[in-house]
Chains A and B, each alone.
Chain A
């Protein structure tokens, strides 16, 4: 069986798997990285959204062979030592309900803010509408993205909220 090497959250990893094995299962079942969630397996819900070379992508429809030699970042690798400003904003706005979709939502938001530090409502609609939140936290997701954008523009942290 072929082995595929890539950089996962800053560390080089190698998985032996068929070329077409969706990356989500390499992450979850072989590497024990469970932040990306299974929500549909066909790329329509966004629960597994992670980053491939800094761009949002769907590990559930990405063959593992395609990430060989690349940098993959999951929610676990986002903050490094502390919390990423988007994660801080998510806490400050108290976004999560069941939380299952939120790793994917956060990764999609980070990808958006990497390209656009002052997203309009229409920009947020366009970037975030591939992710479903069944609990309906969209109003707070929007607020958190705007909060994180402000913090990133000002180069500071966003605070951890009222807790």
Chain B
């Protein structure tokens, strides 16, 4: 895809465009069609950049096609977070074209993409600038081309609905101007993006551009793709995590109807057949002797003990401490459990591999597959097409299915489509690690808060995919390799004036595969903090909202807290057994507050009503922001109340949604209202924002209804 971009000489120098005080470089990469690429200017060479553009890293590009359609190509994956709609809106806004005229495509893995990782709530934060810069540059070129064609002053021209319009009524569509626009030598109008106050598309609640495809069943996920000759493939896996094959006998399986082949993989035994039904039946007929995995000596209680032991002795309290409060919290392992299980279509020949999968990091998948095939030094032999993903939540940073499918395709000599069963996905996945937390709050004689010490013992979270320079882009500093420890330091903050504050990660090595989960460490550390803030309020006899208001350092948090207090009617009269809880979070350049009302009079707590206020800066698509916050709340409630993973002698107990108790319609609150507060026009992240304070607000509501603070999650887990 990228190779097509550079097949024509370039006409001019790159253009520097400033958005939100950040500089972006834009340049034309192809004609006769107009294709404008952009990248963040942080590390752009000052001079001579035009020379090396074919190899220049970029963030995205926008193409104006001869028919007037606009295609924005970006190195990000749509997993349900609505980015394709947001990107289309930004493109349509700056180009003055119809939203319906914009297509958004996900790029293949390519080293020239500066960051090709979908996570850390970074897509819109990071790409909104370059999209606006590229689209505004394209618009300036189209206007200039029309001015040249009509011999009129460029600044007298206007643009609307994909056309340039002259004062005398002449019009030209973008498609017919695209060729000239690509050859423009000198821009006659400014390529500066619009002022957000003039937006007419961005900021309007807008339905998903792919909604119709989804509701008609036309939307295609990895296993819906029509890759010729690709045959169904499943893998027999060990009873324990990371168990291995000692030996196996496939004779019975191979004799079964429809079976096309069996091959041994590092992770198990793969079976290909004409249908998945045939493959699954043959899988059951394999006779395999398994060696236990590295965690087979560990069960939940052992892991909990190890984590507790890692916390260590209390540090010395600050001077003048009169009283120390201690809170302890246990969080479980969590499976990401996306609706679409891990899957991959692979076609491997002697010297090439082509794969299709819903990857959150296609470049990592490419690297992993190249290594597995023995092509570590020539990874370009592996093409990774990114498919629409049926949910990600952090799970699809990893690409085990890609490696398995590639190896099986090579061994069987045919294209394969690998499907992990739900059991595979639950029992052989990667997990948000369990954790144990000790929070110490130091109080002075007069009830003042002198210090806050939070020590979290967490099994190492694996980040082998790294973050490209996603963190660099977000934090504005260049980082060495990002480890769990570094990521913890960077992301975990206490937003209160609590005196001497320290938070420490105690990494514990436990041989259970992990992956970051929506909101990463904050899904535990941030939740525990906000629950213990409520406990502190209880101990001090103060109202949880009033205590927060008095100690919050951030005006944005104050504003969102005020908003939920107002909209949710904090303190209103409620029947016995029904209570409210609040919690806040500032992260990913955004701030959020939750107010949850819960009824604890039934067999299980039932959330009745949720009020959310969020400050995400410039809201690109309020409808999408609302959806993310509603979904994250359900995520949080499910894992706070009922969904958790158990480890029994190195094996995962849960096998499907029958025992991994995710919320269903009957558990969901009737109302989750979202209110947006806009403090400025920076673009904040949304995908992960809504989890931690939703979990904490629910826990706080339950604590206030029941009179005691829950400390072990999920709360309804009987603990055996």
A interface residues, Cβ below 8 angstroms from B: 1, 17-18, 21-22, 25-26, 28-30, 32, 34-42, 44-45, 47, 74-76, 78-79, 83, 87, 90-92, 94-103, 106, 121, 124-126, 128-142, 160-163
Contacts and interface: CB of A to CB of B under 8 A. Distances in A.
B389 interface: yes
A98 B389 contact: yes
A75 to B, nearest CB: 4
B504 interface: no
B666 A29 contact: no
A161 B339 contact: no
B487 interface: no
Nearest to A39: B339
B421 A45 contact: no
Given A39-B339, A42-B422, A134-B662, A29 B276 contact: yes
A92 B207 CA distance: 7
A91 B82 contact: no
B339 A134 contact: yes
Given A136-B663, A139-B630, 8 more contacts: A42-B656, A42-B658, A45-B657, A83-B216, A96-B208, A97-B82, A136-B668, A139-B670
Nearest to A90: B215
**Lowest 5 A-B CB distances belong to which pairs?**
A35-B217, A136-B634, A98-B80, A100-B390, A97-B80
Contacts of B635: 136
Contacts of B386: none
11 contacts: A28-B276, A30-B275, A34-B217, A34-B220, A40-B422, A44-B658, A98-B339, A98-B392, A121-B670, A136-B668, A140-B627
Contacts of A25: 275-277
Q: Which of B82, B220, B339, B657 has the most C-beta atoms of chain A within 10 angstroms of its own C-beta?
A: B339
B216 A125 contact: no
A44 B393 CA distance: 21
A136 B695 CA distance: 14
Main secondary structure of the interface of A (DSSP, over half): loop
A134 B338 contact: yes
A136 B99 contact: no
Contacts of A100: 221, 338-340, 390-391
Contact of A38 (B215, B218, B276, B672): B276
Given A37-B340, A98-B340, A132-B664, A91 B215 contact: yes
In this complex, the interface size class of chain B, counting residues with CB under 8 Å from chain A, is 35 or more
Interface string B228-270: 0000100000000000000000000000010000000000000
Interface string B628-666: 101111110010000000000000000011100011111
Contact of B207 (A44, A99, A163): A163
B209 interface: yes
Interface in B586-638: 623, 627-628, 630-635, 638
Contacts of B216: 35, 75-76, 78-79, 83, 87
B223 interface: yes
Contact of A163 (B80, B209, B220, B274): B209
B277 A137 contact: no
A99 B219 contact: yes
Interface string B516-556: 00000000000000000000000000000000000000000
B664 A126 contact: no
B663 A138 contact: yes
A134 B391 contact: yes
B374 to A, nearest CB: 32
B206 interface: yes
Interface in B322-378: 337-341
A19 B666 CA distance: 35
A129 B80 contact: no
A128 B669 CA distance: 14
B212 to A, nearest CB: 6
Contacts of B434: none
A21 B232 CA distance: 15
B665 A131 contact: yes
Nearest to A96: B214
B102 interface: no
B665 A76 contact: no
A51 to B, nearest CB: 13
Contacts of B211: 90-91, 94-96, 161, 163
